[in-house]
Amino acid sequence: MINFKAEIAKEISKILEIEAQEIQKSIETPKDQTQGDYAYACFRLAKELKKAPQIIAEEIKQKIEINPEIIEKIEVVGAYINFFINKQTLAKEVIEEVSNKENYGASEIGKGKNIVLDYSAPNIAKPFHIGHLRTTLIGNALYKIYKYLGYNTIGVNHLGDYGTQFGKMIEAYKMWGAEYNLEKDPINQMVDMYVRINALCKEDEQVLERCRNNFKLLEDGDAECVKLWNEFKDLSMVEFKRIYDILDIHFDSYNGEAFYADKTQEVIETLEKKGKLIESEGAKIVDLEDAGISTPCIIQKANGSTIYATRDLAAIMYRAKNYDFDKCLYVVAYEQNLHFKQIFEVAKYLVDEKYQKGLKHVAFGMVSLPTGKMSTREGNVVKIEDLLTETIAKAKEIIEEKNPNLETKEDVAQKVGIGAIIFNTLSTVNIKDQVFDWNAALNFQGETGPYIQYSYVRTNSVLEKAGYLPNLNEIKTEELNDEYSYNLLKTIYNFQDVLMQVTEKEEPSILSKYLIELSKTFSSFYNENKIICENKDTQNARIYLTYITGKVLKQGASLLGIKMPDKM
């Protein structure tokens, strides 16, 4: 498909003798469509060329030689050169590309590049609650989009399956295990134990010390501690995998913290060899003052046990060796900003520069309830399973009301309910905090998942009403020369560019906003144009444009993890 931006950049490059790729980065899309499809601002050239930007813009316009089948008109407005795409060429390109390509917008740009994504990572023996929702869904969307663009993606669920909390769980079981039946409702049973032991640790320092010692015993391979830890982990994984199956999320690796426990010695030895380990109050640390980080990174505690920073560093070394990553993305809340600054700085002593550059923290805001922050210790959480069940039930109620004769109510309610949660989560910019509001998640009006699904269903109903899909060679693109058809074609054309922007910024909300824009643009096209009409050529063209719109809506939604119902 013609890359209009690249074609414009190539012709400007010939005049200015600047790399076309550099020029392409500066080509904008005007918000006001009357000012063209693309614009190039000449402000930055004024100093170098010693001319007013307006004069430079006019001179470029006079000199540029661009194929009228690609750009039909060029205008200068102030310092901007505005380019208008040839509508017929755009229509032909878009319709042929979407029709002939099974995965429209897919690419091989990532061929030969490895992307590791570390996301979800619930804690063993704790509920899978809505605090894990954003990491799980952001990570899954990025995984799918990178894969779609040709990257070799490795999804890692770095389970929270190690650390002092397990020393606490082991101590709780030693003290009160006989009171609990972990085979029945295991997560709630384990949470109750954890809340109890946590409260006791606050009151009794000796109990807290026993918990710490339990974790050291676990690290040293104590048979009883390892047996209990495995039991907690196995019971938790059954619960977690059930949630992942509902969301249709899959991982390439479930290597959690424990997997790296026996690999931490290499971290310690490498840092010692390089003279970076300092002893402080019996613990071993790396001082990061020179890097502008006032808090040192603890590598080994005074009792000889490691902490999660050590295990994260071991994971970086392991991933560099085994995955040869170009990027290693950590989809973790911004509360961990300092932790990632520390480990990325320490990683400079452990892995080659290529891997250091590839490390990135994809930070996101916290999820809280309207009543405040959630805490497992206080038992104040909304479990994802409860959220899914409730939302699907609410979706079914609405579907019963709107379309009581629909045969596939259960399936549609599942898709609409889960889609509402996914879209609600991914429509917010990563870094913003979210207050989880049931009403917002279940709102079936406005910029929501159900609105996108409804737009897709509407494309299906148009095709059903028409009773046929014209052949591609029957489509006369000149029949799509009205404003609403053109806007829809142009929005569809932008799909791959949107996916590229998602990976450049690690920001799935860009795709969410695009799908809303596509839905709204289709709605305008649908409302302003009679699709089933007297003129057969016009009807064929509009039916086909409706068909490819549905195709792109379905593909875009699937990259967010949303499934489309055929009817609602």
Q: What is the token pair recorded at 566?
A: 């055929």
132 is catalytic: yes
Q: Mutual orientation of helices 409-426 and 133-148 as an angle, nearest 10°? A: 90
Q: What is the token pair recorded at 176?
A: 């009160």
Distance CA 44, CA 288 (A): 39
Nearest Cα to 303, choosing from 221, 212, 226?
Answer: 212
Sign of the CA dihedral with 263 first, then 264, 266, and 270 last: positive
Distance CA 123, CA 165 (A): 10
Question: Which residue in this structure is represented by tokens 């008109």?
Answer: 73
Nearest Cα to 561, choosing from 141, 132, 149, 147?
Answer: 141
Catalytic residue among 5, 92, 132, 383: 132
Burial class for 131, CB neighbours closer than 10 Å (0-12, 13-18, 19+): buried
3-state helix, strand, coil in the chain (%, to 5): 60, 10, 30
505 is catalytic: no
Q: What is the token pair recorded at 496?
A: 């791959």
Any idea what DSSP says for residue 33?
G
Q: What is the token pair recorded at 457?
A: 């269903």
In the sheet that holds 277-280, the strands lie side by side as 277-280, 283-286, 297-300
Distance CA 107, CA 110 (A): 8
- Are 45 and 15 contacting, i.e. CB atoms less than 8 angstroms apart? no
Nearest Cα to 228, choosing from 218, 213, 242?
Answer: 218
Q: Which residues pair with 154 in a beta bridge?
A: 116
126 is catalytic: yes
Cβ-Cβ contacts under 8 Å for 289 (sequence gap 6 or more):
none
Q: What is the token pair recorded at 518?
A: 């596509």
- Are 470 and 543 contacting, i.e. CB atoms less than 8 angstroms apart? yes
Kindly report the number of other CB atoms within 10 A of residue 491's CB atom: 21
Question: Which residue in this structure is represented by tokens 């982990």?
Answer: 233
Catalytic residue among 5, 87, 92, 129: 129
Catalytic residue among 5, 87, 92, 126: 126
> Mind telling me the catalytic residues?
126, 129, 132
